[in-house]
Structure 1
Amino acid sequence: MYYFIALVWLMFSTVAVAEEGQSEVIGTSETVITTVRTEKSVSAPVPEGLKSPQKTLDSFLMAMEALKAGDKDALDKAEQTLDLSQVNTLVRKERGRDLAWMLLTVLENTPYLEPKTLPPAHKDSEYTLYDYAEGKLYFAKQTDGRWLFAHESLDTLQAILNTLQTQQQTQAETDESVAPLVSSAPEHLPWHLRISQKVPEWLKPTLLDVAYWQWLSILLIVLLGVVADRLAAFVLRVSVKIWQKFAKPYYRKLSSNILRPLGLMMMASIWWMGLNLLGLPDDVLLVLLVAAKFMAGLSGIWTAYRLVDLISAFFQEQALKTETLLDDMLVPLITQVLKIFVTVAGIIFIANSLSLNISGVLAGLGLGGLAFALAAKDAVENLFGFVTVLTDRPFLVGDWIVIDKIEGTVESIGFRSTRIRTFYNSVITLPNSRMITAEVDNMGQRRYRRLKMVLSLTYDTPPERIDGYCEGLRELVRQHPHTRKDYFHIYFNEYAASSLDIMVYIFFEVPTWSMELQARHQFLLDALKLAERMGVEFAFPTQTLYWQQVDENANHPIDELLPAGSSSNHAQDVARQQAEYITRGKR
């Protein structure tokens, strides 16, 4: 059902565009065509083989004889004798080939038609070659002087052939020596003529200008394309699964349906080739061929996209093997460039298949260049932002950055935007234009990662243990595999409200945040183990209420040196003596 819906949608959309475009072109270009032909009549001479009805007929017959002999270029010469101006350019090539063979068959089955029987020159604008019941077969003189088989005559060829075939079959029933239809090269006849000779009479009536046997053929071709698509998709999926079992690990991550578009391409190709064999009327052939060509082009682009994904998977795996992150950033860029190239090539292929006027499109873009430039201002700024990121390299894929209060890890860098994975696992898309003026704090480019903290000890910790614990922490820094050894500070730093505070100011030499966390984890565990071994305890905010019974007879050793009632000057002298004693012991 999916295929028929898609086909119907393509048919209607294409017909709408084609009819609209054709009406505009035909309506506006008649004067231009007349002018061009008038100019050609003045500047370019009429080809010798088209100067008269006699020469045109002789040129056609000679070209068809050369075609039967194997000269493929002769078909173009034969088509030059036909007035195909009324045939849509999308099907002109296919229609011209069929008309040439049908005309040859009609001429071969019409008696007394020899080029030498025609006059060498003719003054009127028309010359009737033969008058059939379905219409006359005649030449028409063009405005540039060429004599061509008139397009009205070409339109009646199918009906003339049907009548000739019926007459020959009637005669063959009474006279066995009469062949059903005479042709000097039956193997070169279009397939629809061969089929029409063999189908029963009840399949020859028409519905909407299409014979019954042609309707059945269309149904069979569509069905054959769908079956080929499903079969190819199944075979390709199984083949990819088998291949992935023996392929490199980076190919195993790809979907088993990566070659699925090849099935659609096969289906479109079967439709494209099959419809050309049926000899359908121009309008019907135009609709169906445009749909088939359009689907073939889209499936080709899709197939190329999947091949680019295969190439990208290979390069991503190779980039992971290197230490630099530049190639990790360039691989998505190369993938995007290849997909843009594939898209452009696919558009050109579709435009060429549909005979679109690329020059007219480009001219339209030129006329709307100013509007396009204004509309593309943001896109150009984003592109310059991407170039800035690529050349200045303020960050790479995988870096931890802070930009405009946005913090996270760079996931991808594209032409238009940069994607950042935040630490709460959302993805923020930043236009590259902001990279030109924004301040980027690249946390991932730090050589050292600082740890600044305070270790709080209880107030009952002896001074010598505080000093010993600080020295033990310094030794932990010296022994740690990822700390900076030439610059760190660990000292007793403050008397806090409920603790004796030791400041720890050290640096870790690690490339990533995850390794920094691991290094912190190891250092903090070592500091805790050292505290247990040194007999020091960590403080926390508390208030302690002491109940103490005062012994009036108890004396402090300093009471002998500093009795009650001593003067301030005497107290200062005693304190200086004690300080000198303390410092003298360290010396």
Structure 2
Amino acid sequence: MSNNSAAAARPAAFDTDRVGQQAGALLHSSFIWLQQHWLQILIAVGIGVAIALLLFWVRAFGPRLAHRSASGKGWAAVLGRAIERTNAFFIIMLSAKLVDGYAATPADVDKTITFLFTVAAVFQAAIWARELILGAIEHRTRDEHYSGEALMSAMGLIRLLVSFAVFAIALVVVLSNLGVNVTGLVAGLGVGGIAIGLAAQGIFADLFAALAIIFDRPFRRGDKVSYGTTSGVIEAIGLKSTRIRAFTGELRIISNRNLLDKEIQNTSQRDHVRVSYTIGVAYETPPETLERLPAILTELVEAEGAKVARAGFEAFGASSLDFVLQVDTPGDDWATAHDVRNRLLVAIMRRFAEEGITIAYPTQTTYTAAPDGTLVMPYAEPGHPPTS
């Protein structure tokens, strides 16, 4: 290998003389700029300082806005905390950028201000986005009582994921503005994200299901729910699973993803409990009594403070005339509805006894016929001796 090729292969040495010449040229041009535009520079500096002071005052208003709104729990508090996170470097660079054109700055100084402003603005936007997203999630968790220890510990992971996402995007934007080819970086982040997603898809699925529970609000802690063959009270909503205390006493744990895949009945949101009864009366009941029976049942139900949804004749049963009674008890408490049911059943039995109404039970009558087809009575007719 020749000496020329070896020299070409080595990196160029740091040329201190050239750097000194560039620095000297920059100082000389800056000195000339100060001499020629000193008045514009003073005015621009004054305006920039005024803008910066105004922006600092707006930032100081953020904490007061956060504390004024319902003990720091409203949307105004979220906005106030985002304003409070405004960086001082961003305020200074924004003020400099706004007055940059008025002072007729040299090209090198203008490029420097533009570069620093771009970096400050991109990362400040990332900080605001993170605060607004996390503030919205925390606002929903407090507003809807999703404040169990498990979910609060999950907020740490949510903060980490949100921070990583917004600052990764900010870094890519800054590098792109610097002229760096970010195609490989974006591809690497995409491949890495896919790999992590495939490795932890179950955890992320349950995490997103937990967020869906927070924002869609199908239920909250303390609600009574039913799904499949299980009924109980929501005790805790966590990062991966929800804990439900069954009415029979045991604690049931189901993953958030599997829970949302089922049909959930939130019984805490209903305004009444409906109980249905089928009452069968004997076929021998007089038609006049049958006509009065719906009114009798309605009267008994209203005496217990409940409401009749339906009371009427349903069908001709095998051994009875069937009437259907549907009763709505106000509220969502099954214990109260059961107490009403017990008192109502006793009241029905007492009233039927007073009215002479017989509640039917399964019966069967057998008739015997003589060889000539005539009916053979099972008992002796008056005036005729019994047959042997």
TM-score, with length taken from structure 1: 0.30
Higher relative contact order (CA 8 A, sep 6+): 2
TM-score, with length taken from structure 2: 0.44
Find the structure with the greater CA-based Rg: 1
